[in-house]
Amino acid sequence: MTAPPCMPRNPDNPLLRSARREASWTVAIWFCALVYTVGYCAYRGYGREFDTLSFVFGFPDWVFWGIMAPWGVCYAISALFAFVVMQDAPLEDDAEVNSAAGGEIAHD
């Protein structure tokens, strides 16, 4: 529904609120992944002697615990995000606010 131009619209836009919250969580997850992955790999994957290297499922130990394991965790978090955390909301119809688009062209 489009509100008449003279009436104030409802400031409570559920999609905007949920999108902002989800974006904040996503950036926080990205930052944690960056700190752990780069931190662990810098600590265990740089400047070592080959004799000290062990293998986990064929991967060098620092690759497995520093990249493969967090990749698995991020996969699980992404699934959780997609099916539990993110909320659905209507994206609304086209052309609701044509006049707001500053000289909208009537070709679409």
Partner 1 sequence: MTDAPHAGWGVMAALGIMLVVSGAVGIAAQRAVERGSFLKGFFLGNRGLGVWTMALTATVQSGGTFMGVPSLIYSHGWIVALWIGSYMLVPLTGFAVLGKRLGQLSRRTSAITIPDLFRGRFDHPTIGLVTSLLIMFYMSFMMVAQFKAGAILMQLSIPGAHEMSMGEDVQASLEMDYYVGLAVFAVTVVGYTMMGGFLASVWTDLFQSVLMLIGVMVLLLLTVPAAGGLEHATRVAVTNTGPAFAFGPGYTTDGHEFLPIGAAVSMFFVWIYAGMASPASMVRVMASKDTATLRRSIFCLSTYNLFIYIPLICICIAARSIIPDLPPEKSDQIIPRMALWSTHGLPAGSLIAGIILSAPFGAVMATVSAFLIVMASAIVRDVYLRFINPEASEKQIRRMTHVSLALLGVGGVAAVIYPPNYLQALIVFGSTCGASSLLWPAVMACYWRRATAAGAMAAMLGGSATVWVLYSIGWTTTHAFRPYLLWGLEPMVYGLAVSGVLGFAVSLLTTPPSEEHVSRLFDG
CB of 21 to partner 1, least distance (A): 10
Residue 12 to residue 97: CA distance in whole angstroms: 18
Residue 65 to residue 41: CA distance in whole angstroms: 9
CB of 68 to partner 1, least distance (A): 7
Residue 22 to residue 61: CA distance in whole angstroms: 33
| Site track for partner 1 across 51-70, x = CB under 8 A | --x-x-xxxx-xx--xxx-x
Pick out residues in 14-43 that bind partner 1 (CB under 8 A).
Answer: 14-16, 18-20, 22-23, 25-27, 29-30, 33-34, 37-38, 41-42
